[in-house]
Chains A and B, each alone.
Chain A
Amino acid sequence: MTKLKVLHVDIGGCEGCAVTFLRAIPLIESIACAKTRYIGNDFKIEDCDIAFVTGSICINDVHALELLKNIRSKAKVVVALGSCAALGGITRFCRGGQEPKPDHRVFQPLSSVIDVDFAIPGCPPPPQVVNALLIAYVKNVEFQLRLFKAVAKVKRLSGFDLLDDVVLPGLCVGCGACVLSCPTGALRLIDRRPELIVEKCIRCGTCYVRCPRASQILVRRFT
């Protein structure tokens, strides 16, 4: 079997997801040949099967926009890795006005600028998810890819959406998956119902995707 040609590019994130990709390399090496700026001497955007892109896109940065469009033209499949790339995450709060580039004001998920095939939220996602996505892709297991596909079509997910779509309509089963997945500890269970500490929510969307009910809502709506 020929190995997948996989590329990782960061377009201005915190590098936490880039480290996730680096940690995933030993896991995926049997099915993929991975290239990243973290290993090797020469790195350029080249034709590949799958490009993992980390970091949200600053729509005021021409250099980053060109880079992202170049990635889309060279990659057969683009995966937004991490909450910033998938949903905007913490960078949704950015308002610009800061030296030395005060014009860098608006940060968006990648899907606002290019077509994204799959998105993996998480701040940062664990390396095992990268492996799971690649295995499902190679084996073409449609039902395992559906959720990643659905997230790629959403531009906004957070603890607030979880409350609105699952908890308040009474769909929550009190499993606690959202509490365990939250990277900031913004959720806690009170009487088997999640309670959101609003000032801790960084809008990464991990809870929404991990929730067994909310994830099904996503899949039904977007695939």
Chain B
Amino acid sequence: MNIPFKAYGKELVRIAGEAEFLALHDGDKVVKAYFISRAPVRGFESLVIGKNPIFVVEAVMRICGVCHAAHGIASAEAFEHALGLLPSRHGLLLREAIGLVNRLQSHILHTILISQDILRPELQGKMVRMLLSLLEKVNSIMLKLGSAVTHPPAIVIGGISRPPTEASFKEAQRILVEVAKSVSELRDSVLNEDNMNEHIKVLKKIRAPENFIASHLFYGDRYNISLDKVTVKHYSEYKPMEDDVDREVAKKTTTLIALYDGKKVEVGPRARLSIYRRFNAKSLFDVQVARIKEIELITFRLSELMDIIDISAPLRSGQIVFREGEGVGVYEAPRGLLIHKVALDNEGRVRKYRIITPTMFNVPIIESTSLGVPISIVEVIPRLYDPCIPCTTHLIKLK
């Protein structure tokens, strides 16, 4: 292979899943960047064809062990849309709370993974321990609200099954107060200039592109985006195949690419806060700042929700009739816009299923943002965008 530039290729550590990052550089700055996911394609869209919707919600939650509830909610929303169901108010509120606890789990996990990139070395061990204990607290809230720490079975079509008991709901509220305190400490230590390492100075100077798409701040709304503008492409169709490296990467990678209105868009915390909270975020480091700010915002919203939710009210709509139909579920997963599309046959079984995940939108952004970045810190860029490989590798091309 004849490469005009030097190559810096590495299997990425500290991301969710298995991926490689290849950067071609001129000795100083990156000239070309490739994000290559390596996890096998389990093919959940083909797996669920012919199956009962009850199984499908459980199955798609197993696409990802990090943003499990997000897939469950998006799937349940898609089926409800297809069947013309409206879940009960308190069922929806509890579902929103479970989704937000999942977002907290994911953001805390990401902060564990990225702490080595952003904090001074002597603080990293202490921070990881603090975050692991915070994660355990958040997990115990998830256990109480969603009936399991991972893949919560409480998320079902029509609302929520297995409502928490009053005692466990109150216990969850109590733990949430502790979580809120730890979250403020977390924000103070991660965003404190004295604790940051030398990477941050560079990251603050690099401007990150500002094309955002988000459907909601906390939940997801299919009417806030134009679904027909979302296109999915093969890696080889999205990237011009100029040389052997391009072709080899396209052959190797197990992900597809998503574009909005034919353009690259960023999804995730920075997009959500920029659109719905006028968050002034220009630099690459702001991608991480947005995530930390979102952790705090979610905690506020969660305590608000816990005050409103009445667990003695009906949490699931009474009658579900499985029949023919088509529906779309749009949800804001921890990493951004997540879309599930379903078509049911006349027996109410799945005829067609499509999933578009946030990392599919973010892969082109990771690659384009890496251009011109000093080679010494280029490995940090993919981690900043928190790519999720298990989600990304289970997607099918949209016709």
**A-side interface residues toward B, CB under 8 Å?**
10-20, 22-23, 25-26, 37-43, 58, 60-61, 63-64, 89-91, 93-101, 104, 107, 123-124, 126, 183-185, 197, 199-200, 202
Q: Which residue of B lies closest to A42 (CB)?
A: B13
Q: Are the C-beta atoms of B62 and A99 separated by less than 8 Å?
A: no
Provide the bound-state CA to CA distance between A99 and B356, in Å: 13
Determine the main DSSP class of B at the interface with A.
loop
For A197, the chain B residues whose CB sits under 8 A away are: 54
Provide the bound-state CA to CA distance between A39 and B109, in Å: 11
Provide the bound-state CA to CA distance between A210 and B87, in Å: 34
5 closest residue pairs by CB, A with B: A16-B65, A98-B43, A58-B40, A14-B65, A101-B41
Knowing A13-B390, A101-B41, A184-B153, the reply to whether A37 touches B13 (Cβ < 8 A) is: yes
Near A by CB (< 8 A), chain B positions 315-351 give: none
Interface code B113-145, partner A: CB below 8 Å = 1, 0 otherwise?
Answer: 100100000000000110010011001000000
Q: Are the C-beta atoms of B18 and A98 separated by less than 8 Å?
A: no
Interface code B152-164, partner A: CB below 8 Å = 1, 0 otherwise?
Answer: 0100000001100
In the complex, besides A97-B43, A107-B42, 5 extra interface pairs with C-beta distance below 8 angstroms are: A94-B43, A95-B46, A95-B47, A104-B41, A126-B149
Q: Are the C-beta atoms of A199 and B147 separated by less than 8 Å?
A: no
Residues of B within 8 A of A (CB-CB), count: 59
Determine the main DSSP class of A at the interface with B.
loop
Q: Which residue of B lies closest to A93 (CB)?
A: B47
Interface code B229-259, partner A: CB below 8 Å = 1, 0 otherwise?
Answer: 0000011000000000000000001111000
Q: Which of B23-31, B272-280, B391-399 contacts A (4 or more CB under 8 A)?
A: B391-399
For B151, the chain A residues whose CB sits under 8 A away are: 16, 123-124, 183-184
Task: Report which residue of B14, B68, B139 has the largest number of chain A beta carbons within 10 angstroms of its beta carbon.
Answer: B14
Task: Report which residue of B42, B51, B153 has the largest number of chain A beta carbons within 10 angstroms of its beta carbon.
Answer: B42
Provide the bound-state CA to CA distance between A22 and B115, in Å: 15
Q: Which residue of A lies closest to B394 (CB)?
A: A98
Nearest-Cβ distance from residue B127 to partner chain A, whole angstroms: 12
Nearest-Cβ distance from residue B57 to partner chain A, whole angstroms: 9
Q: Are the C-beta atoms of B55 and A101 separated by less than 8 Å?
A: no
Give which listed residue, B58, B68, B128, B393, contacts A39 with CB less than 8 A: B128
Q: Are the C-beta atoms of B66 and A19 separated by less than 8 Å?
A: yes
Nearest-Cβ distance from residue B147 to partner chain A, whole angstroms: 7
Q: Are the C-beta atoms of A97 and B46 separated by less than 8 Å?
A: yes
Give which listed residue, A22, A39, A90, A100, contacts B59 with CB less than 8 A: A90
Q: Which residue of A lies closest to B125 (CB)?
A: A39
Q: Are the C-beta atoms of B116 and A41 separated by less than 8 Å?
A: yes
Knowing A100-B235, A183-B151, A185-B153, the reply to whether A61 touches B40 (Cβ < 8 A) is: yes
Does B314 interact with chain A (Cβ within 8 Å)? no
Give which listed residue, A12, A42, A123, A184, contacts B18 with CB less than 8 A: A12
Nearest-Cβ distance from residue A74 to partner chain B, whole angstroms: 16
Give which listed residue, B113, B150, B256, contacts A124 with CB less than 8 A: B150
Knowing A14-B62, A14-B390, A15-B65, the reply to whether A200 touches B132 (Cβ < 8 A) is: no
Does B64 interact with chain A (Cβ within 8 Å)? yes
Q: Are the C-beta atoms of B132 and A101 separated by less than 8 Å?
A: no
Q: Are the C-beta atoms of A123 and B62 separated by less than 8 Å?
A: yes
Q: Are the C-beta atoms of B59 and A93 separated by less than 8 Å?
A: yes
For B14, the chain A residues whose CB sits under 8 A away are: 37-41
Knowing A26-B132, A104-B40, A124-B150, the reply to whether A99 touches B396 (Cβ < 8 A) is: yes
Provide the bound-state CA to CA distance between A94 and B46, in Å: 7
Does B374 interact with chain A (Cβ within 8 Å)? no
Nearest-Cβ distance from residue B259 to partner chain A, whole angstroms: 16
Provide the bound-state CA to CA distance between A107 and B52, in Å: 22
Does B70 interact with chain A (Cβ within 8 Å)? no
Q: Are the C-beta atoms of B148 and A99 separated by less than 8 Å?
A: no
Q: Are the C-beta atoms of B64 and A99 separated by less than 8 Å?
A: no
Give which listed residue, B42, B68, B135, B235, contacts A94 with CB less than 8 A: B42
Knowing A37-B14, A98-B45, A101-B254, the reply to whether A124 touches B234 (Cβ < 8 A) is: no
Q: Are the C-beta atoms of B64 and A43 separated by less than 8 Å?
A: no
Does B295 interact with chain A (Cβ within 8 Å)? no
Does B78 interact with chain A (Cβ within 8 Å)? no
For A61, the chain B residues whose CB sits under 8 A away are: 40
Provide the bound-state CA to CA distance between A197 and B45, in Å: 22
